[in-house]
Structure 1
Amino acid sequence: MIESSAITIARAAIPADFKAAADLTRTYFAALRTYSRDADAMVDAYLGNHDVEAELADLGGHFAPPNGACLLAASTEQPLGVVMLSRKAATHCEMNRMYVFERARGTGLGRKLCYAILEEARTMGFRRMTLETMPFLTAAISLYRSVGFTPYHGSDARFVNLQMTL
């Protein structure tokens, strides 16, 4: 197991950081597909609603200030997790694609990434954060609820929609 104290979280800043974030995101979507046959359909629905490949091709344009942020977690230069936020309105942002590699689960890294992106959002002046997740990601939903996210009715009922006042 990876020691929690050996993990750092930093804002993506250079092309290599954004490439690592894109690679982690692709791994995330591939991992989601393994949950069940329903999961595969949910991933297809999500990808159909979002132009993920275009975002991954230009993460610095989509997920860097002033329009967003991308945080990478690593241990001795090895990427372990990612979380992003994107601007939705002047004071509203959305948490995007939080993912922790399986080998880093159980270290508290998911919670640390969640708190780090919340702080990043506050620093950037956002007052509300929303997120959309898949209903079979019960551990993630529990984490989000435990840090203060509450349900709301989003535009696509197939997904779990959560929000938090910052």
Structure 2
Amino acid sequence: MNFYTQTGKMAIGSRLRLLTDKITEDAAEIYKLYHVDLHPKWFPVFHALSQKENTITEIAQIIGHSHPSVSKIVTEMSRKGIVTEKKDKSDGRRNLVALSKKGKEIADQIKDQLADVNSAIEDILGSTRNDLWKAIEEWEFVLEQKSLLRRVQEQKKLREGSQVRIVDYSPEYAGAFKTLNEEWISAYFKMEEADHKALDNPDSYILQKGGAIIVALYNDEPVGVCALIKMNDPHYDFELAKMAVSPKAQGKNIGWLLGRAIIEKAAAMGAFRLYLESNTILKPAISLYHKLGFKKVAGHPTPYERCNIQMELEIGRG
């Protein structure tokens, strides 16, 4: 087991397969010991059918296997004469699978084997500090709530997000500010006059009017930007605008980091309420704004043809 000690928990799948292989090898010998003509992998289907005849779909649901897997096992068992298939008398569209005469004989014959195996498993459980059976139940429940894949994706996002630095805009990022925004706007819409004003002249259009721009750096490369544009409006202090993240950097939590950072900057600048405009086809962006606390509003004039949703956020004054 030195290999698994070295690899750690990342090899959990391989280690579980190793344990499964050991148990399966013993299981095959146990069937021989009791002269039971049954393959270990057939047992879940066999046991389900020993309780009640059923369709392949229903068997799959009962034992938690896929339909193709159960179908293959039923075919194999049918060749051995252990099961039979017949039309459901009450519904001709359904094929019922049932134990054959041979299958029922095996069901009676296997009772002593099952009792002895159960006692052997109890003996193993009694010899260990950790109850594997209960642990498996816990793992199944936890993974049902959130899969291992989903958990790894979240850890990947957190790790990569920790490598992101948010910095204030400087002239060296002018090209990135323009390119990143043009990239996403052109992917969904068309560039408009207000876009050109902000992207061609960020100093005069945004910064010199009291606004701000921040830049997300990943491995020191600018991969995301966001701006605060000062508004001449009694209800709003700034418009959160020109948020863009490079497609190659998506999935690294950069949108969230930019959003939180720009809100914190607005609060530090004394802002009370922020405003933004977007389009509902940008579902990830709209979801992000909701998570940041923005709520839908309506009725504010907009210079953008693409705008079909307006949102605001009250951030208060510190």
Same fold (TM over 0.5): yes
1:12–1:70: 8 Å Cα contact kept in structure 2?
yes
What is the CA-CA distance between 1:24 and the residue it aligns to? 1.3
Q: Following TM superposition, by how much is the alpha carbon of 1:16 offset from its aligned partner in structure 2, in angstroms?
A: 1.4
- 1:164 correspondence with 2:313: yes
Partner of 1:72: 215
Greater fraction helix: 2
Could you tell me which of 54, 78, 81 is aligned with 2:224? 81
Q: How far apart, CA to CA, are the structure 1 residues paired with 2:200 and 2:209?
A: 18
Q: Counterpart of 2:179 in structure 1: which amino acid?
A: D
Contact 1:18 1:60 in 2 (8 A): no
What is the aligned partner in structure 2 of residue 54 from structure 1? 197
| CA distance in 2: counterparts of 1:18 and 1:125, whole angstroms | 26
2:260 pairs with one of 91, 106, 115: 115
Render the CA deviation track for 1:57-90: whole Å, top value 9, x for unaligned. 2101222265211111112231111111101037
Aligned to 2:167: 10
Indicate the structure whose relative CO is greater, using CA pairs within 8 Å and at least 6 residues apart: 1
Counterparts in 2 of 1:9-158, with a 5 A limit? Answer: 9-13=166-170, 15-32=171-188, 40=189, 43=190, 47=192, 50-64=193-207, 67-89=210-232, 92-153=237-298, 154-155=300-301, 158=307
Unaligned runs of at least 5 residues, structure 2:
1-155
- Using the aligned pairs only, state the percent identity: 26
Q: CA RMSD in A?
A: 2.2
Name the CA distance, whole Å, in 2 between partners of 1:102 and 1:159: 23
Q: Which runs of no fewer than 5 residues in structure 1 stay unpaired?
A: 33-39
Q: Kindly state the Cα deviation for residue 155 of structure 1 after the two structures are TM-superposed.
A: 2.8
Q: Contact conserved, 1:68 with 1:85, CA < 8 A, in 2?
A: yes
What secondary structure, in the 3-state scheme, does the structure 2 residue paired with 1:106 have?
coil
Is the Cα contact below 8 Å between 2:294 and 2:311 reproduced in 1?
yes
Q: C-alpha distance in 2, partners of 1:100/1:57?
A: 18
Q: Report the structure, 1 or 2, having the larger strand content.
A: 1
Q: Larger radius of gyration, structure 1 or 2?
A: 2
Question: Which 4+ stretches in 1 moved above 6 angstroms?
Answer: none
